Chains A and B, each alone.
Chain A
Amino acid sequence: SQTIHQWPATLVQPVGSPLSLECTVEGTSNPNLYWYRQAAGRGLQLLFYSVGIGQISSEVPQNLSASRPQDRQFILSSKKLLLSDSGFYLCAWSPPRGADTQYFGPGTRLTVL
């Protein structure tokens, strides 16, 4: 069966510091991968998605970036965090075809102080 991992689970970072969040998927090949952000009490905002190694689509211009160095690894990064980057970051995967169910990881709670 497929599993998706995210780490760290929680993170507290100062403004201006760098960020690296990691997501890995097991039990599937060539998945579509997604990064979402969720502010407290709000909906899901799609940040990036990837349909293959090195292929990244950005949905919202901001100071975040994403990379997919391996088939089942998706990384969210920032060179300098802003206060507004605080939130709950969720990684998801879906089968490598058109619109299909996305399966979410446990999320990373990021607080920027």
Chain B
Amino acid sequence: GESVGLHLPTLSVQEGDNSIINCAYSNSASDYFIWYKQESGKGPQFIIDIRSNMDKRQGQRVTVLLNKTVKHLSLQIAATQPGDSAVYFCAEGRSSASKIIFGSGTRLSIRP
């Protein structure tokens, strides 16, 4: 459902380690999924997307995994850097609809 009224969970990761951010989506009919990164005071920025006919997609230092059986999405960030500190949102949508539904978000904190 809509991410309203929920405080953000935080993931703390050592610089250089890999980060894994998880997301459970709600609608089994969703066929399009997106990860966004939001830095403080800025609008969300597109990172990577995946359609339901795939279970894995890789970008630069990021990988998205989709498990439709358990309605689970994850974002893996390799060799986490200080610039990766942000709030990360997953979003789900359907090809037949004009809107997407955002998850509640996870704050990624990097330890030096």
Interface residues of A (CB under 8 A from B): 32, 34, 41-46, 49, 51, 59, 90, 92, 94, 97-107, 109
Contact = CB atoms under 8 A, between A and B. Distances in A.
B68 interface: no
Contacts of A41: 7-8
Interface in B1-38: 2-8, 30-32, 34, 36
Contact of B97 (A99, A101, A105): A99
Given A90-B44, A105-B43, A45 B98 contact: no
B43 A101 contact: no
Interface size class of B (residues with CB under 8 A): 20 to 34
Contacts of A32: 98
Interface of B: 2-8, 30-32, 34, 36, 41-46, 49, 89, 91, 93-100, 102-105
Given A42-B4, A44-B3, A45-B4, A98 B44 contact: no
Contacts of B44: 44, 90, 104
B interface SS class: loop
A49 B99 contact: yes
B4 A107 contact: no
Contacts, number: 79
A44 B89 contact: yes
Nearest to A36: B102
A102 to B, nearest CB: 6
B93 A98 contact: yes
Contacts of A45: 2-4
A29 to B, nearest CB: 16
Nearest to A10: B41
Nearest to A104: B43
B95 A99 contact: yes
21 contacts: A41-B8, A42-B5, A42-B6, A43-B102, A43-B104, A51-B98, A90-B44, A98-B95, A98-B98, A99-B30, A99-B31, A99-B94, A99-B95, A99-B98, A99-B100, A100-B32, A101-B34, A102-B34, A102-B100, A105-B43, A107-B43
A106 B49 contact: no
Given A42-B3, A42-B8, A45-B3, A107 B94 contact: no
